[in-house]
Chain A
Amino acid sequence: MNDETRGAAGTREAAPEELSCEESLALVYEYLDGELPPDWNDAVRRHVEKCRLCYPYFDFERMFLDYVHEAGEGTERASPELERRIRDLISGETGD
């Protein structure tokens, strides 16, 4: 890991016992994405669970990410023409 791969709070070192709000906020997405090493993950969780400022913000970001994930799937339908074209192309490549 080089400098470019380090998180804002230097995620490659051992996690400190206590994190500040600033340090926790810098790691919000890595935490919610499940990308932190276990000791950092625990350190962020310990801070957020007892911090009245960070807790609602982390909750908000989690709702946002869930929303993007669910809504981003979409409900568009492939056109019947596209399906027909694909079936024709597949048939054209069958059995020769």
Chain B
Amino acid sequence: MNQASESGDDRRREFESEALPHLDALYGLALRLTGGDEPRSEDLVQDSVLKAWRSWDRFEIGTNCRAWLMTILRNTFINQYRRDSSRPSRVDFDEISEGPGAGTLYDADPEGRIFDRLVNAHVIRAIQELPDEFRVPIVLADVEGLGYQEVADTLGIPIGTVKSRLFRGRKRLQTRLHRFAEEMGYLP
């Protein structure tokens, strides 16, 4: 008995020392995916860490614990997201601009000086303000570094849709960053 509970404690301590250092990263990913919804992000982190704890036996010590936890959180979010995503799309396509051309960020700042001047909080806000349709693929591909096929599989959408959402989402981000830069007086 005593021995069994001791090994349970060891297991718990092992999990805590491997997994809990990644709470901040998990929380950041949750905020990005939920669009900055703090209570929902906390729930998401909590659910994901508990799931990880319940399958701790299947985790191989020495492999990438952070990546494993991030995948669990991503999948937990996507399951909720798919369940909820029967809601109608909020996308409107009027603000889309393509490539170099009048009025784009590239046109205003071809050398990308604003990327040095804007603080990280700006891009985080810009990401979190995107509609779900664009935000989720951008977080998966651009922040988390997943490939197109992985994003398509994770979201259950065709790869062509991933491409077009990344394209449109990135252009929206640039438009938003452009506006921030104007507000801060970095660009005329």
Count contacts on B: residues with CB < 8 A to the other chain: 55
Closest to B114 in A: A67
Residue of B45, B99, B120, B163 near A30 (CB, 8 A) is B163
Given contacts A29-B170, A72-B143, A86-B49, contact A78 B27 (CB under 8 A): yes
B54 at the interface (CB under 8 A from A): yes
Count contacts on A: residues with CB < 8 A to the other chain: 46
B:1-44 near A, CB below 8 Å = 4-5, 8-9, 11-12, 15-16, 20, 23-28, 31-32, 42
On chain B, the residues within 8 Å of A71 by CB distance are: 120, 122-124
B28 A64 Cβ-Cβ under 8 A: no
Bitwise, A55-73 to B at CB < 8 A (1) or not (0) is 0110111011111111111
A:27-77 near B, CB below 8 Å = 28-30, 33-35, 53, 56-57, 59-61, 63-77
B166 at the interface (CB under 8 A from A): yes
Closest to A82 in B: B42
B126 to chain A, nearest CB (A): 9
CA distance A33 to B170 in the complex (A): 13
Closest to B99 in A: A25
B interface: dominant SS: helix
B173 at the interface (CB under 8 A from A): yes
On chain A, the residues within 8 Å of B46 by CB distance are: 82, 85-86, 89
On chain A, the residues within 8 Å of B53 by CB distance are: 90, 93
List residues of chain B with CB under 8 Å of any chain A CB: 4-5, 8-9, 11-12, 15-16, 20, 23-28, 31-32, 42, 45-46, 49-50, 53-54, 99-100, 105-106, 110-112, 115, 120, 122-124, 127, 138-139, 141-143, 145, 147-148, 158-161, 163, 166-167, 170, 173-174
What 8 new A-B contacts, CB under 8 Å, besides A57-B100, A78-B26? A63-B115, A66-B115, A68-B138, A72-B143, A74-B32, A86-B45, A94-B8, A95-B5
